[in-house]
Structure 1
């Protein structure tokens, strides 16, 4: 699944509904590799054109993220309702969404790997395509 998929990870505080996204050490919110410069989010009405013939199950991405951050099994859970295709020069890739299941964000685990948690307002310096992905993720998670 590697190069053809990315994973955006979020934590939503149960009591306050504060939503934070994991920003990785390489200054991207896309787990396992920043998107290429020419990447563009595929609009829903054009999604069929970018559907791959075979779609591997995204579950290994959650386990891979747990390993990357040194988190226990079950700490990263896929949000199955969010799947976005992104058009890139080498062919389309898929972006999935996952939530952290802990009560509080694992700040120490993230920091140990050069990552941090950011609010949507702290993402302004990200590439435009990542901002669009975060906007869609925010709407999805907050029910908008």
Structure 2
């Protein structure tokens, strides 16, 4: 994933599944435990305080990241859909990271597919041991999913 990591070093992606009927919500977790793609947030990351302004930088469209992660994981084309209403900022020692979200466009959760990629789909409650920045991202993502 080094090519994606280099190209999108200032962006991360959360992947989730939401059942249309049951509202079952699951988040993708990589083998190393992180819920961020293509790689974990740096150590000492924290949510950017809402009062702080994000430095002006060229805005990257999240679909480019979604497509790159999907290709790198060798997922079927069209499986991941960009979640347009989600954008959060993480303060890191190396600068601000923008986090986007994408949804698995399937009727049933793609457990087998993600397991074959070294990942798992887990409910929010089973991800409690993650670092504080990831937990807050998950909380905000879950809130966004439930409101949509």
Q: Same fold (TM over 0.5)?
A: yes
Q: Which of 34-43 and 126-135 deviates more?
A: 34-43
- Scaled by the length of structure 2, the TM-score of the pair is 0.90
SS state at 2:43 partner: coil
Q: Does 1:88 align with 2:88?
A: no
* Count, aligned residues: 142
User: 1:14 corresponds to which residue?
Assistant: 20
Alignment check: 8 A CA contact 1:9 1:99 kept: yes
Specify every segment of 5 or more residues in structure 1 that has no aligned partner in the other structure, as ranges.
Answer: none
CA deviations on 1:8-43 (whole Å, 9 max, x unpaired) are 000001110010000012210000111112101113
* Cα distance in 2 for residues equivalent to 1:111 and 1:15: 23
Structural RMSD (CA): 1.4
Specify every segment of 5 or more residues in structure 2 that has no aligned partner in the other structure, as ranges.
Answer: 1-6
User: 2:71 corresponds to which residue?
Assistant: 67
User: 1:117 corresponds to which residue?
Assistant: 121
List, as ranges, runs of 4+ consecutive aligned residues in structure 1 with deviation greater than 6 Å. Answer: none
